[in-house]
Amino acid sequence: MSVKKKTYCRNCGAVCGIELEVAANRVIAVTGDRENPESQGYFCVKGLTSMDFHNGEDRLLACRKREADGSFVDIDGESLIDEVAAKLREILDAHGPRSVAFFNGTHGYGTLSMPLTKSLLHSIGTPNVFSTMTIDQSAKWINHGRMGLVPTWKYSDLEADVLMVVGNNPIVSHMGKPWTGIRNNAAGRAIREARKRGMKLIVVDPRITETARNADIHLQINPGDDAMLFAGLIHLCINNGWYDKAFCERYTCQFEELERAVEPFTPELVAKRLGLEQARLREVARLFGTAKKASCGSGTGSNMSRNSNLSVQMLEAFNAICGGFRKPGDEVPNPGLLSGGIPPVFSVIPANRTWEAEPKAVSDASIGQTYGEFPTGILADEITSNSPDRIRALLVLGGNPVMAMGDPDKTVPAFESLDLLVTVDPRMTDTARLSHYVVAPALPYERHDCTMINDASYHRPFAQYAPPALTPPPGVLPDWELIWGIAKRLGYQLELKPAIFGASFSSLPDGYKLDMENKPEPEHLIEEMCRQSLVSFDELKAHPSGYAPEIEPVVIREPEEDDGARLSLMPEDVAAELAAELEEYRPGGEFPLLLSTRRLLETMNGSFRDAGKTRKRYAVNPLFMHPDDIEAHDLEGAEKVIVESRFGKVSAALRKDPTMKPGVVALTHMWGSALDEAPNTPLGSYTGRLVSLREGLQTINAMPRYSGVEVSVSAA
């Protein structure tokens, strides 16, 4: 006998509603939940693969401990917590709070354990919080810190006349809404609907992506050329009066500095450098600058490329001068629910440059924190530094930083030198293999979760609570219990605060103090975490397909008085970075091609890479290359190639792909292995070998270059 249970998929930011068919505590079928008012039945192959993942394909069914000889043995959850807590106590007593650190991975964000871990770290007194945010898009945080921010944010595909989508492919990544305004699930349909009502879509991407194919205008530039492009567009807009003068006067400062800084970026120069028609640039500048509601934003592409901080800064300055924000009088389609909603008054949060304040990194005094985190680009240095305050113990939650960070010659020895590495992951990833303890966690359909972290990812106010649909296998340890158990043994009081993306523990008001004697009920914890929600927990529970309440429309009001806060359009450090961009950049010589990032529908970073359904479609991650490049590099007929950068090489299977820009190749990340010596493994090609954590890092956030890496490709 089987039963149907409603829940939502937790594999990616689309968080689609799904329906599980469960028999004997196993999932036997997964379908999209048509009654979910937000996703309306939409789901993808990864939602389907999650069935095999829960049922055991590729899954750890018990926690593990590494023995002296390097082999792993099973360990029960309580013993694991005892041993980890004792080791932590020893390290803390000997070396103080800064010896302990936390890395929050992709699958940590939506869990109860993420906010609880932040509370634990706060009790310990360590500032060492790291996450994937600083290896995928911290340029956005640096932009907030240098320019400022408008909390009522930008237009989405529901409202915009023009949307400009830069380095973002939401049709595959299902992640557009918070960045570029494109709906996360069913992005293709959302784009088609928006264009039918008249919206124009401009895409900036080196590849003819699934999203670019649906665009009115596609600017196919090289990775890393975004700053040049946006400097040129700003130049055109200012010189032709195609910008929002009233908005600039009231809400921005440093306009003259901006005007001066972009002066040399003439349409002639920019068109020549980017290989675009001047008329095209002019068309884009005019379309965007004269539209009533136009917004421009970036995904991860330009945030991972050459000059990522400058690129995002220029893109956001372009958006700001054109008034690319919802303004007084505009309605906010989704003001948020579980996180309590946003204030309905237009405001600017001015540049705050938090990284200039204490605390600083121990390996580099020029690096401080943004949004309460240190950049992951320096994590290896923070471990190997000779400072007495170096990191000696690291907890990794739902991530695989050894692979994700790249530069294995630096990353792997750093992780190997830790006194304590604990990884919470259902698979024996590279990071798990280097760990002293691997915690086999309960998987999503076995957990209590709610969509608080996804609050801003929905188009309309929406929230969902998911109680467990399955009982976890006996050997696993739900990750929040790990954190609670450690805190209890170390004598700390945990405090649960809302899971709000990017909010540091101390920036949030007081939370709920957990019972540290008797293990709390996780459902009760979710209820307490949602205390500031605009809908009651009972209402949430009464809507198993998710709750989309009718709420009073939020219309943005003018602020009553001028608080003096302005968006800084061209700070001095940005002007210096932009001036340097005038110097011509051109890959060439030994490494004439640019390696770009690319995501596959079947995988979520390293997750599902080894799943049967994925391998059927992708035996390995191929190197995508334009047919003209294949010919130009004498690779016609080659099956295997060697991809080499100044930092390392990998072999890869070659795949012809006319959607690539000639001169640009792409290889998906998190395949292969950072640990195996051979440059190629049956698991695929590890792109991290081609990147460097030693040179070319951005200032302020130490962001490495994962896109626009100079490479050569030759026959194997």
User: What are the residues binding ligand MGD (CB under 6 A)?
Assistant: 12, 105-107, 132, 135-136, 166-170, 172-175, 204-207, 209, 223-224, 226, 299-302, 304-305, 397-401, 404, 406, 424-427, 429, 441, 443-444, 479, 596-601, 603-607, 669-670, 687-688, 691, 706-708
390 binds, among ligand SF4, ligand MGD, Mo ion, none (CB under 5 to 8 A by kind): none
Q: Provide CB contacts within 8 A for 393, sequence distance 6+.
A: 87, 88, 91, 99, 100, 101, 418, 419, 420, 421, 422
Helices (H), strands (E): how many in the chain?
24, 30
- Compute the least distance from the CB of residue 233 to ligand MGD, in Å: 13
- Compute the least distance from the CB of residue 113 to ligand MGD, in Å: 8
Among 36, 43, 355, 487, binds ligand SF4 (CB under 6 A): 43
Smaller CB distance to ligand MGD: residue 206 or 323?
206
- Max alpha carbon distance in the chain (Å)? 72
Smaller CB distance to ligand MGD: residue 172 or 496?
172
Q: Restricting to residues 119-148, which ones interact with ligand SF4 according to CB under 6 A?
A: none
Rounded distance, CA 672 to CA 55, Å? 24
Rounded distance, CA 333 to CA 162, Å? 17
- Compute the least distance from the CB of residue 335 to ligand MGD, in Å: 24
- Compute the least distance from the CB of residue 118 to ligand SF4, in Å: 24
Smaller CB distance to Mo ion: residue 136 or 455?
136
Q: How many residues form the binding site for ligand SF4 (CB under 6 A)?
A: 12
DSSP 698: P
Residue 256 exposure: Cα atoms within 13 Å on the Cβ side = 0
Rounded distance, CA 300 to CA 13, Å? 14
Here the tokens at position 26 are 């196993």
Q: Provide CB contacts within 8 A for 468, sequence distance 6+.
A: 442, 445, 446, 447, 448
606 binds, among ligand MGD, ligand SF4, Mo ion, none (CB under 5 to 8 A by kind): ligand MGD
Binding-site ranges for Mo ion (CB under 5 A): 136
- Compute the least distance from the CB of residue 132 to Mo ion, in Å: 5
Q: Provide CB contacts within 8 A for 310, sequence distance 6+.
A: 227, 574, 577, 578, 581
Name the residue number minimizing CB distance to ligand MGD.
Answer: 301
Q: Restricting to residues 156-195, which ones interact with ligand SF4 according to CB under 6 A?
A: 174, 185
- Compute the least distance from the CB of residue 194 to ligand MGD, in Å: 17
Smaller CB distance to ligand MGD: residue 97 or 679?
679
- Compute the least distance from the CB of residue 36 to ligand SF4, in Å: 10
Smaller CB distance to ligand MGD: residue 154 or 669?
669
DSSP 221: P
Residue 16 interacts with ligand SF4 (CB under 6 A)?
yes
Where would I find the beta strands (DSSP E) of 302-375? 331-332, 349-350
206 binds, among ligand SF4, ligand MGD, Mo ion, none (CB under 5 to 8 A by kind): ligand MGD
- Compute the least distance from the CB of residue 24 to ligand MGD, in Å: 22
Q: Which whole-number Å values give the CA distances from 660 to 280, 587, 628, 644, 656, in the listed order?
A: 20, 17, 10, 19, 9
Smaller CB distance to Mo ion: residue 141 or 318?
141
- Compute the least distance from the CB of residue 69 to ligand MGD, in Å: 25
Q: Is 185 exposed, middle or buried (0-12, 13-18, 19+ CB in 10 A)?
A: buried
47 binds, among ligand MGD, ligand SF4, Mo ion, none (CB under 5 to 8 A by kind): ligand SF4
Asked whether the beta carbons of 709 and 594 are under 8 A apart, the reply is yes
Smaller CB distance to ligand SF4: residue 53 or 251?
53
Rounded distance, CA 237 to CA 244, Å? 10
Asked whether the beta carbons of 202 and 163 are under 8 A apart, the reply is yes
Residue 459 interacts with ligand SF4 (CB under 6 A)?
no
Smaller CB distance to ligand SF4: residue 16 or 660?
16
597 binds, among Mo ion, ligand MGD, ligand SF4, none (CB under 5 to 8 A by kind): ligand MGD
- Compute the least distance from the CB of residue 701 to ligand MGD, in Å: 14
Q: Restricting to residues 269-308, which ones interact with ligand SF4 according to CB under 6 A?
A: none
- Compute the least distance from the CB of residue 47 to ligand SF4, in Å: 3
Smaller CB distance to ligand SF4: residue 143 or 454?
454
Name the residue number minimizing CB distance to ligand SF4.
Answer: 47
Smaller CB distance to ligand MGD: residue 52 or 539?
52
Q: Which residue has the tokens 């975004």?
A: 226
Residue 47 interacts with ligand SF4 (CB under 6 A)?
yes
190 binds, among ligand MGD, ligand SF4, Mo ion, none (CB under 5 to 8 A by kind): none
Which of 643, 645, 714 lies closest to 684 in space, CA to CA?
Answer: 643
Where would I find the beta strands (DSSP E) of 607-679? 623-625, 640-644, 649-656, 664-666
Measured in degrees and rounded to the nearest 5, phi and psi for residue 21 equal -105, 120
- Compute the least distance from the CB of residue 536 to Mo ion, in Å: 33
H or E stretch at 711: strand 709-715
684-708 in b/e form (b: 16+ CB < 10 A) is bbbbbbbbbbeebbbebbbbbbbbb
Residue 9 interacts with ligand SF4 (CB under 6 A)?
yes
Which of 413, 465, 498, 474 lies closest to 76 in space, CA to CA?
Answer: 474
Smaller CB distance to ligand MGD: residue 117 or 533?
117
Radius of gyration of the chain (CA): 25
Residue 236 interacts with ligand SF4 (CB under 6 A)?
no
Among 11, 117, 313, 451, binds ligand SF4 (CB under 6 A): 11
Rounded distance, CA 268 to CA 281, Å? 10
- Compute the least distance from the CB of residue 114 to ligand SF4, in Å: 18
Asked whether the beta carbons of 484 and 491 are under 8 A apart, the reply is no
Smaller CB distance to ligand MGD: residue 168 or 334?
168
Where would I find the beta strands (DSSP E) of 259-319? 294-298
DSSP 457: G
Smaller CB distance to ligand MGD: residue 170 or 181?
170
Q: Which residue has the tokens 């170096």?
A: 390
Residues that bind ligand SF4 (CB under 6 A): 9, 11-12, 14-16, 43-44, 46-47, 174, 185
